Amino acid sequence: MATFQYIAKDASGNETRGTVEAGDRSSAIAAVRAQGLMPTALGEVKSAAPAPAAARGKAAKKPAAGGKKSGGLNRNIEIKIKLPKFLQGRIKTKVLTQFTRQLATLVNAGLALMRGLEVLKRQMKNQQMREALDGISDTIAAGGTFSEALTAYPKIFDNLYINMVKAGEAGGVLEVVLARLADFAEKSEKIKNKVKGAMIYPSVVLFAAIGITAFLLVMVIPKFKQVFSDMLGGQSLPAVTEFVIQASEFVQHNGLMIFIAAVAIFVIVKVIGKTEAGAYFFDALKLKLPVIGTLAQRSAVSRFTRTLGTLLSSGVPILQSLVITRDTTGNRVLSNAIQTVHDAVKEGESMTQPLSQCSVFPPMVISMVEVGEETGALADMLTRIADTYDDEVDNAVAGMTAAIEPALIIVLAVVVGTIVVAMFLPMVKIIGSVSSGGAGM
């Protein structure tokens, strides 16, 4: 018989801890359930009993094979090569979402949390995630809760994840909360992938335009310049041709400086973006840009409403939900607005007034939040807003793609066309002079 330590929830959702004697893990789980409890964590209590003195004496006298000391016979030495933390990549959202969804399914099927973690750990291919699951299992086996174990891995599990798990443990609905977390992550990743996908084609066109222009200016225009010099004998060139040749010479003579300047601008923007004032400026700029601003605003509103609605529906108190939402919104302008809402709610006021003072939230969102507060269905109303704005984000992405693609093609056509025309006009003059010379003969 072995001793198992468990953490379980009773019918009221209260947490209970204790130990049971059983032959194996399955029997221990059955014993806990027989008490009317739902186990959320269970681990075997291992105690190393001291060996009898006679046995210890014999073991000490027994020679070790190969001339090694006998103390090394019972040791399993495992060598793991780990990369430094700064070299380890972040866990992909897809890996975390898949883990959350599978754990929710296992727990909902009645499997104990510890058992579910062990099952997922065996099939986990990501080394960082597997190491995290090892540590989480050890913490739970030592008597800690699942949410407490997650706090040791902030780069994998953010505040939103941890606090929702904590609310699920407190309410005895961990499997429901995990399913909501998986839904939330899947929808957020879907929106992010759509935005990234919409930018692939314009980025390729822009890169091609820059490459073609640079090739023409550096490799083609100098050869035409030499031809014009030889054939026209110093005659004046059309204005557009002179402009293109001067641009070509500037790029040739200052190419390195242009590259250094571009890199310097990129680095400066990144450094400024790390400061609080700079980050706020760029976040505010994103919301005001002609085409991207609409998409950024709708994405921010969708993320805010879905995060807050998910937290409230999971049982997290509203003040704590607002703090978590503020820290995970990803936009300083919106974070400041949420902080204002938090302060107002803390003073006993409603969310409507501070939301209306921020230009980020459209009137429709404010009206629906007001209705949700009055009817007591704020969480459900926020989720509906998020669903609505997810559709609007899809439409905005489609509209942005439809507007950017032809604009970039037109820009590329104008640039290349200008260079072609600039090189063609002197050729017409050369052909004309050659024809007139041939006629005079």
- Checking if the pLDDT of 39 tops 50, the result is yes
* Per-residue pLDDT band at 234 (split at 50, 70, 90): low
Structure tokens at 432: 């004309």
CA distances to 55, 142, 198, 406, 407 from 402, rounded to whole Å, are: 81, 57, 9, 7, 9
Q: Return mean pLDDT, the chain.
A: 78
- Residue 8 sits at φ, ψ, to 5 deg, of -140, 165
**pLDDT surpasses 60 at 81:** no
- According to CATH, what is the number of the domain 184-432? 1.20.81.30
Mean pLDDT of 386-396: 82
Instruction: Return the pLDDT at 277.
Output: 87
State the Cα–Cα distance between residues 32 and 15, nearest whole angstrom.
13
> Is residue 106 predicted with pLDDT exceeding 70?
yes
Categorize the per-residue pLDDT at 425 as very low, low, confident or very high, splitting at 50, 70 and 90.
confident
pLDDT value for 11: 61
49: confidence class by pLDDT, cuts 50, 70, 90: very low
Q: Identify the weakest region by mean pLDDT among 14-23, 45-54, 90-99, 245-254.
A: 45-54
Q: Which of 98-102, 169-173, 174-178, 431-435 has the lowest mean pLDDT?
A: 431-435
Average pLDDT, integer, range 350-358 = 83
DSSP structure class, residue 80: -
Nearest to 350 by CA among 313, 312, 376: 376
Find all residues with CB under 8 Å of 432, minimum gap 6, and list them.
Answer: none
Q: Are 204 and 408 in contact (CB under 8 A)?
A: no
The mean per-residue pLDDT over the stretch 144-152 comes to 85
Instruction: Say what the pLDDT of residue 196 is.
Output: 77
Domain ranges of the chain: 2-45+91-157, 184-432
The number of beta carbons lying within 10 Å of the beta carbon of residue 81 is 4
Q: Is 434 left (phi over 0), alpha (psi -120 to 50) or beta?
A: alpha
Q: Positive or negative, the Cα torsion across 194, 197, 203, 205?
A: negative
pLDDT digits (tens, 9 = 90+) for 217-233: 888 888 888 877 777 76
Same fold yes or no, 2-45+91-157 and 184-432: yes
Residue 195: per-residue pLDDT: 74
Class of the 2-45+91-157 domain? mainly alpha
Assess contact for 341 and 291: CB atoms under 8 A.
Answer: no
Backbone angles phi, psi at 437, to 5 degrees: -65, -40
Distance CA 351, CA 301 (A): 15
Residue 48 has pLDDT above 60, yes or no: no
Interatomic CA distance for residues 334 and 359, integer angstroms? 9
DSSP conformational letter for 217:
I
- Of the candidate ranges 195-204, 235-244, 335-344, the one whose mean pLDDT is the lowest: 195-204
Residue 358 has pLDDT above 90, yes or no: no
pTM, full prediction = 0.60
**pLDDT tier for residue 260 given thresholds of 50, 70 and 90:** very high
> Order of strands, edge to edge, in the sheet holding 15-22?
15-22, 2-9, 38-44
For residue 67, is pLDDT > 60?
A: no
